[in-house]
Amino acid sequence: MAGHRIDLTGQKFGRLTAIKRTRPNYWMFKCDCGNEKECNTNNVKRGQIQSCGCYLRESAGSRARTHGKSDTVLFKKWLQMRKRCNCPKIHGYHNYGGRGIKVCKEWDNSFEAFSDWAEHNGYKEGLSIDRINPDGDYCSDNCRWATKKEQDNNKRTTVKVLYKGEEVSLSSLAEKFNLPKWKVYSRVKRYKWSIEKAISVPVTALCLLAGCANTTSVQIKPVCPPMLRETTYKAMQADEVADYRIAVEKCRVF
pLDDT tens-digit map of 37-89 = 999 999 899 888 888 888 777 665 555 456 678 888 999 999 999 999 988 88
DSSP letter for 190, please. Answer: I
* Each residue's pLDDT tens digit, 130-149: 898 888 999 999 999 988 77
CB under 8 Å, gap of 24 or more: what pairs does 101-105 form? 101/131, 101/135, 101/136, 101/137, 101/138, 102/137, 102/138, 103/137, 103/138, 103/139, 104/137, 104/138, 104/139, 104/140
Its pTM stands at 0.45
- CA-to-CA distance for 46 and 136, rounded, in angstroms? 39
Residue 230, judged by CB atoms within 10 A of its CB (0-12, 13-18, 19+), counts as: exposed
Domains of the chain, residue spans = 12-64, 73-152, 159-199, 204-254
